[in-house]
């Protein structure tokens, strides 16, 4: 089961990473929304309701503008309306999987602050739902650090100055999953 799941995730990330590199966007939001929904179903089946509820709350609050228009309730579009819901849900989720819960919240905040694109955030949240342990979070941080150092060294040698690079996030998520899998194989 783990190999099949890993292979599906690998193929999915390769496809959306290619689009992210080539076009700086994915062809349709379904490429990340469907896997996110499947990850929610998977975690529900596994019985991790606190992470599921947090993921659903994050998704709903991300779509607050659409929900506001659909339900004809303009106050739903305001972020302060959603924040009181996060406190008990986040508290419950942190009790079970502290790093995964904080990562879900962090990816959502990164999207809200426009530091990340929507597809990057949803893909990262999907991966945290599938791999809620510390191994993915560590692989995520290490892969980002390696890319940051690698690109900075590249610009130092190539252009004789260090500068920050803007890279698509999905290929780095692919690298994180590959790095995590290498770690699991070594164990």
Distance of CA 101 to the CA centre of its chain: 12
Residue 148 domain-assigned (yes or no): no
pLDDT digits (tens, 9 = 90+) for 151-177: 888 888 888 777 666 677 899 999 999
Burial of 92 per CB tally in 10 Å (0-12, 13-18, 19+): middle
- Contact in structure between 36 and 108 (CB atoms under 8 Å): no
Phi-psi region of 130 (alpha: psi -120 to 50; beta: other; left: phi over 0): alpha
Residue 185 domain-assigned (yes or no): no
Provide the 10 A C-beta neighbour count for residue 113.
8
Residue 21 domain-assigned (yes or no): yes
- Contact in structure between 56 and 40 (CB atoms under 8 Å): yes
pLDDT digits (tens, 9 = 90+) for 20-30: 888 888 889 89
Residue 81: is its pLDDT beyond 80?
A: no
Residue 174 domain-assigned (yes or no): no
Tokens of 32: 């990340």
Residue 61 domain-assigned (yes or no): yes
What one-character DSSP code corresponds to residue 117? -
The structure's pTM equals 0.88
Residue 139 domain-assigned (yes or no): no
Instruction: Please tell me the least confidently modeled range out of 32-41, 84-93, 98-107, 146-155.
Output: 146-155
The structural domain count of the chain equals 1
Residue 146 domain-assigned (yes or no): no
Higher local confidence (pLDDT), 155 or 39: 39
Q: Residue 115: which domain range?
A: 2-131
Residue 142 domain-assigned (yes or no): no
């Amino acid at each position: 089961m783990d190999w099949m799941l890993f292979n599906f995730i690998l193929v999915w990330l390769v496809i959306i990473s290619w689009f992210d590199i080539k076009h700086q966007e994915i062809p349709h939001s379904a490429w990340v929304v469907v896997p996110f929904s499947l990850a929610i179903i998977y975690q529900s089946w596994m019985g991790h309701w606190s992470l599921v509820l947090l993921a659903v709350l994050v998704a709903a609050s991300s779509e607050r503008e659409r929900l506001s228009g659909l339900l004809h309730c303009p106050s739903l579009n305001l972020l302060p309306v959603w924040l009181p819901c996060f406190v008990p849900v986040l508290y419950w989720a942190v009790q079970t999987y502290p790093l995964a819960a904080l990562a879900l919240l962090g990816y959502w905040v990164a999207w809200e602050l426009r530091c990340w694109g929507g597809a990057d955030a949803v893909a990262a949240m999907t991966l945290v739902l599938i791999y809620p342990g510390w191994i993915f979070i560590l692989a995520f941080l290490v892969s980002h650090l390696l890319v940051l150092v690698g690109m900075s060294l590249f610009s130092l040698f190539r252009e004789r100055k260090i500068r920050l690079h803007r890279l698509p996030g999905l290929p780095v998520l692919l690298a994180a999953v590959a790095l995590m899998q290498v770690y699991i194989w070594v164990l």
